[in-house]
Structures are given as C-alpha cells and as structure tokens.
Structure 1
Amino acid sequence: MRIAVSIVLAALAMVVSGCGSTIKPEGAAQSVTDLVSKETGFTPKDVACPDGVKAEAGTEFECTFTGPDGDYVAEVRVTKVEGENVEFYIRSKLKDS
C-alpha cells in the first residue's frame, strides 16, 4: 500500500507568540496524521515535525513518519496564517523516492 497524498488541509496547528511566531510541532504532526488517516485509512503513530518553523505563508518544512511499507516524508507548506490558525498544503511520499 503506497501512501501518496497531495491535498490542501485547513490545519488545526496553533501558532505560538514570542520573538516571532512559530508553529507548534505537535499541531503540524496532528495535521499530517489527520490527513494521512483520512485519505488512506492508515493512521501513523510516530509523526515528527521540526521545532522553530516560522508561521509565515510560503514557509516549507518536512515531517517524517512510518507508513505501512516504509519510511515516509510529508512535505508541508504554510499557505495561510490567521491568528492562531495555520493552513497547510501537505504532500506525503515514501522517503527517498
């Protein structure tokens, strides 16, 4: 089973205030989990996203997770930031493919 998803997801990731707004890694990870689960029926249990990602439209980062047939990467792009809500474009694929 190959998980390949390319979709815009209005995410529930929350932005944290401080010396510049950043995306909470656990919020981004939950968005990836929700999208993969919805689109494929497989629920990843180990999604990991980086700390310190700027909450600005156009920012790109990668999250990783284990799928049913190997290691995957979710390519994430911030498309919109409104207050504490962030919208992502997420595309997942097998790592190194």
Structure 2
Amino acid sequence: MNPASTAESLSARLAAIASPQRMRIIAVLYAESLHVSELARRLGMSRALLYMHLTKLEEAGFVVGHLEMSDGGKALKFFELVPFAITIDAAALAAAVANDPEAET
C-alpha cells in the first residue's frame, strides 16, 4: 500500500475490490488480458454489468483498458490487470488516517 494513502483513498481502493464479481474479474485478468466480449463470456456476465465493474476497478487503479484493432478492422477493448499489493494492518490504517487532510488533530 502506498504510504501516502489517505483514509479516503484507501477506502475507495478497498471498496473497488470488495465485491465477489470484481474479485472474479481480477482473477480472470490475472491469467491474461482479454477483450470485453471474451471476458463477459468467461464470467457469464452482461457487457453492461461488466463495464460497470471494470470502470470501478479502472478508477481505483486495478485494471487498465486499451483499444486494439482486430484483423478484420474491428476495435476491441482489452483490459489487463495492473500489478498491485495491498497490506491491511493497524499500521496501514493508522498511516492512512494520519495522512487524511480532513482528519482531526
């Protein structure tokens, strides 16, 4: 975890992965980057729902998306996992609260 994390940023990152569906997305993308349609098929999820989850994960910095052109000239949106590690312990929580600009002193 970034030592300069605030309570708000830590909370947002944790909330982004605090979903079984988003954990499944991360698990699938851990093995390989995939385009949205293939990812939706593997997860048995609609593309609209998948995009909602991918947006949360992308905003929190866990995945990144990019466009690639297929051989047939069709644009495909691929997503890949951004390597990360999160350590949650009392020291990490205390540091995040201490770095929070809205924390009372």
Same fold (TM over 0.5): no
The structure with the greater share of residues assigned to strand is: 1
TM-score (norm 1): 0.31
The structure with the greater share of residues assigned to helix is: 2
TM-score (norm 2): 0.30
